Chain A
């Protein structure tokens, strides 16, 4: 077989996971090759034309804080931006941006092409070669062999992809791309257990066939917050989204045709996600609900194509047309791309360590939808971690594993490798135990020092962070000393409907009142220095929620106790007296790195953990 190249890291797939993996590894000094079945599908957004959203927005900020690319590209090509949940506390503010899909792809492709140490190639990988349980090469469909010290699999929905539209089905990747048909067999040969998952995407429609006057316009924010902590200038909103609803007629059409939906005719073997149900799913499961929302979102500025969020379906095309045309504003709608469901192979992520390396094959990593997740952001986050860890493996460094208290990325990966998943996994704020600490506004504070240490964050950016933190701390200390008198404060308190004070009160105390902001107390504070906006934001959050933050920190300390009790990775749990059989099997399978991780494995009981504690103590002596 012809050897076509020799690399430190080979990345299979050019989606959001593959892109972050390739860029990170190359930036860390590795020689990297990235393969994509089509270079026109690199960084594609085959589903919704938006980045971020609840919890996902947090992931993008964390990716950025560690030195990833997704946030920066989004800032460059967004067409509408919105901070979600602004009516709630800062922990759940989440950024979401509609992006120009084509420009996003082009921008990503350009950055890959400009990246030093990185070769980008159009090829389908059909085989991964291993020797002594270590990976050493990948093979393309044309028989070319690329030697690689590490390989990252980021195949998204391409792996034995099959699309379904009613009773029509064909082997296909997303957005009409070729599927990767052979790699699954190769993976099974080297002992990787595969799962079959399902997802779907709604129809794309022509804007000129939509009557927007019957819909509600959804605008972006007036003041736009960029995703990247590095973006200093951000452009304006350039497009709107539109809201309409299904109705009883729509629901009747769906019910009448349920037998023609592969999901209900039993032809879909893949497991779909609960949070991403098709419209037929919603109608069946929530029968009492009279209407469902549909958002019509632009696919870009240079196209009339629009995405109809809320009606992903596997119903036949004729039913799709009927169904859409029953909706207000879509009476004359023309479908440009039909909605489809897609089935694909992915791996059982419990086969991976927290580094995303396979336990049974040294040097082989998995990332993105291949690991059983759903969503661009989840994919990018894992790609970044896999890319970093592949590079660190090549360089003989210790893996980077973020824990649940450090970020949503850590929570995501810990969930995957510890509990596995039986449906495409989506990040949600509810999945984090330490939500108030893992805010999107402090992702830089949490992770940029790590990004700097790893080598993905520049000295300059790191120093800027240190400056921000020091200004914040200084201002908090100052506010602890500034006292407002009743005479000065009460008129202001009255204005904001806050109860008056009897004696002097520290500004830091006043700020703890939900209705009082940092800005509102400015007139009580003549000495206040002029501070950057992001510093003011941190000062306010850290003072206002101090009690809650402290309580979460105490929870984290508790969590760390078990997390810091490390278990040997090669421990044979069959040798530990007192563990139940089920626990032994699960522990041997997951090979947890710590007691904390062990405690999160389903099937491992508190009693088993007590046994492990006793064992650890006995063996420490």
Chain B
């Protein structure tokens, strides 16, 4: 049997409570070791809720909690599940987790609950993907998008394209399988036109994938600037805007501390926030040196300048080292100073802000939305590809369609063009789970009059 796993399953910090989920055969036994209440959890019925405390190994109370006990198989993972609702806050949740791990649970890997649910036959693959997306989503549009994917809007758009291609393929193939019938052959320009139109649709979906990734994962953002320009005030201002610093993940392999903040609907994944706070405290450290790695990793660099002091060599160095990156230049402290940096920044737009008063944060948000086309994604009817498997299938389909068009242009016979057409149909089918040959054969008999 798999080891019992545990994880904080609500985004830490959001809302009043945090839920820690424990799943596996020993979930109840492990929870019992850290829970103090009226009765032992092993003696309570399934799907019941209990009031009590979580204690550490010294039997000191960590928090007042509600504990739900759900026994297999009627649970999300089909295993025994215990969910502990604490009073939120990173520190408390962490201590509860520590206690559980000391009691014998293992920290769950990302998506592991869903993986177990899938392996135990509770949900299918596409649902699993969407659930993982919901779990991983860090911002509101992302959650909405993952939900609509669950409901099938992506499948709908892909199927519409796929159906056109299947119909085209059937038209091309019926002539081949029934050469004696007086059917009109699909013209080469039909093949080219329909393929081009579908390619266009596929490409549109692919374009959403990059925005989709950003919506899902957040924009990797580095805030750079020389000491005391107000990087940490900006950080705090952003956090205020969000009212909830989502989480701080001890840097995985990167060894850089990250924080999520939502600037309205725009999710930012701020790199090296610890470094920012440090360097602002310790004046002699040069921010640029420290930020090098963050700049390399970042998708977006926010360069902070100080309107209350004169431009100097450090500012120039920072601007030089972030050239070529996607960047936004902020002129902070614009409420107390009016120094001009335009010689340094050439034609680049400078956004005047005051981290202290919050002035200009709206303009920052608008600039980022603009930069990543996020504005148009907030329309709820737009389908966004957020899943990498889906994106790669779409890329494959797009490439295949390009080859169809190419084959027709250089004068290859239509059955040769249909090889790539089938590849495209198959690639799209991979997303929705259909296979090509059956569909084309069915379409042939549905649409054409053939036979002896």
* B413 nearest CB neighbor, chain A only: A89
User: Does the CB pair A275–B451 fall under 8 Å?
Assistant: yes
- With a cutoff of 8 Å between Cβ atoms, the chain B residues found around residue A514 in the complex are 410-413
B91 / chain A contacts, CB cutoff of 8 Å: none
Residues of A within 8 A of B119 (CB): 577-578, 611, 614
Contact (A548, B419) CB under 8 Å given A54-B176, A293-B181, A429-B177: yes
Contacts of A87 on B, CB cut-off 8 Å? 413
Distance in Å from the Cβ of A387 to the closest Cβ of chain B?
Answer: 28
Give the residue name and chain of the B residue nearest to A47 (CB): B452
In the A-B complex, the 8 residue pairs with the closest CB atoms: A286-B449, A274-B445, A89-B413, A607-B124, A514-B411, A607-B125, A578-B121, A430-B173
Which residue of the partner chain A has the closest CB to B414? A88
A238 contacts chain B at the CB level, 8 A cutoff: no
B176 — which chain A residues lie within 8 A by C-beta? 54, 85, 88, 92, 429-430
Q: Which residue of A lies closest to B178 (CB)?
A: A54
Q: Are A91 and B445 in contact, CB atoms less than 8 angstroms apart?
A: no
Contact at A433–B437, with CB atoms within 8 Å? yes
Which residue of B179, B411, B422 contacts A84 across the interface (Cβ within 8 Å)? B179
Asked whether A432 lies within 8 Å of B445 as measured between CB atoms, the reply is no
| Cβ of A202 under 8 Å from chain B | yes
Interface string of A591-621 (1 = CB under 8 A from B): 0000000001000011100110010000000
Residues of chain A within 8 A of B118, CB atoms compared: 607, 610
- Report the minimum CB–CB distance from B428 to chain A (whole Å): 15
The verdict on B367 contacting chain A, using a C-beta distance below 8 Å, is no
Question: How many Å from the CB of B438 to the closest CB on chain A?
Answer: 8
Measured CB to CB, the nearest residue on chain B to A578 is B121
Q: How far is the CA of A281 from the CA of B178 in the complex (A)?
A: 17
Q: How far is it, in angstroms, between the C-alpha of A611 and the C-alpha of B121 when the chains are bound?
A: 8
A276 engages B452 (CB within 8 Å): yes
B450 touches A (CB below 8 Å): yes
Q: How far is the CA of A54 from the CA of B173 in the complex (A)?
A: 11
- Whether A293 contacts B449 by the Cβ 8 Å rule is no
Q: How far is the CA of A611 from the CA of B124 in the complex (A)?
A: 10
Q: Does B423 have its Cβ within 8 Å of any Cβ on chain A? A: yes
Q: Which residue of B lies closest to A55 (CB)?
A: B177
Task: Encode contact with A along B252-295: 1 for CB under 8 Å, 0 otherwise.
Answer: 00000000000000000000000000000000000000000000
Knowing A514-B410, A548-B419, A578-B120, say if A606 contacts B452 (CB, 8 Å).
no
Q: Could you tell me if A545 and B452 are in contact, using CB atoms closer than 8 angstroms?
A: no
Are B413 and A54 in contact, CB atoms less than 8 angstroms apart? no
Which residue of chain A lies nearest to B122 when distances are taken between CB atoms in the complex? A578
Q: Let me know if A515 is at the binding interface, CB within 8 A.
A: yes
Is B182 a contact partner of A605 (Cβ separation < 8 A)? no
Known: A430-B441, A514-B410. A276 touches B416 (CB 8 A): no
Q: Are A92 and B441 in contact (CB under 8 A)?
A: no
A548: chain B residues within 8 A (beta carbon): 416, 419-420
Query: What does the 1/0 interface line of B170-204 toward A look like (CB < 8 Å)?
Result: 10010011111110000000000000000000000
Given A435-B415, A436-B419: A580 and B433 within 8 A (CB)?
no
A434 to chain B, nearest CB (A): 9
Contact among B128, B177, B416, B423 for A54, CB-based, below 8 A = B177
The contact of B419 among A292, A431, A552, by CB within 8 Å, is A552
**A residues in contact with B449, CB < 8 Å:** 277, 282, 285-286, 289, 292
* Contact for A428 among B177, B419, B420, CB less than 8 A: B177
CB 8 Å contact bits of A59-101 with B (1 = contact, 0 = none): 0000000000000000000000000110111011010000000
Give chain A residues whose Cβ lies under 8 Å from the Cβ of B412. Answer: 89, 514
Q: Within 8 Å of chain B (Cβ to Cβ): is A150? A: no
Contacting pair B452 A309 (CB below 8 A) = yes
Interface centre among A273, A431, A513 (most CB of B within 10 A): A431
1/0 per position for B141-184, CB-CB distance to A under 8 A? 00000000000000000000000000000100100111111100
B423 CB contacts on chain A under 8 angstroms: 551, 555
- Residue A389 CB within 8 A of the other chain: no
- Please report the total number of B residues contacting A with Cβ < 8 Å: 40
Closest chain B residue to A307, Cβ basis: B452
CB pair A432–B437 under 8 Å, yes or no, is: yes
Question: SS class of chain B's interface: helix, strand, loop or mixed?
Answer: helix
A577 CA / B180 CA spacing, docked (Å): 52
List A residues at the B interface (Cβ < 8 Å).
Answer: 47-48, 54-55, 84-85, 87-89, 91-92, 94, 202, 273-277, 282, 285-286, 289, 291-293, 295, 309-310, 312, 428-433, 435-436, 513-515, 545, 548, 551-552, 555, 577-580, 600, 605-607, 610-611, 614
How far does the Cβ of A287 sit from chain B's closest Cβ, in whole Å?
10
Beta-carbon contacts of B435-447 to A below 8 Å, as 1s and 0s? 1110011001100
**Which residues of chain B come closer than 8 Å to A48, judged between CB atoms?**
452
**Contact (Cβ within 8 A) B437 A92:** no
Which residues of B sit under 8 angstroms from A275, Cβ to Cβ? 445, 450-451
Given A91-B416, A430-B170, A514-B412, 6 further pairs, Cβ under 8 A: A89-B416, A274-B445, A430-B177, A606-B433, A607-B123, A611-B121
> Can you show 6 pairs from A to B with CB atoms below 8 A apart?
A91-B415, A291-B182, A430-B440, A435-B415, A436-B416, A605-B125
How many angstroms between the C-alpha atoms of A605 and B124 in the bound complex?
8
Establish whether residues A428 and B414, one from each chain, have CB atoms under 8 Å apart when the complex forms.
no
How far in angstroms is the closest Cβ of chain A from B441? 5
Bound Cα distance from A291 to B119, whole angstroms: 56
On chain A, the residues within 8 Å of B450 by CB distance are 275
CA distance A244 to B176 in the complex (A): 21
Chain A residue at smallest Cβ distance from B444: A430
Contact B445 A293 (CB under 8 A): no
Q: Which residue of B lies closest to A600 (CB)?
A: B435
B333-355 contact mask (Cβ, 8 Å, vs A): 1 or 0: 00000000000000000000000
Complex interface: chain B residues within 8 A of A577 (CB): 119-121
Which single residue of chain A is at the shortest CB-CB distance from B446?
Answer: A274
- A312 close to B419 (CB less than 8 A): no
Query: Smallest distance from the beta carbon of B199 to chain A beta carbons, Å?
Result: 18
Hey, which chain A residues are within 8 Å of B444, CB to CB? 428, 430
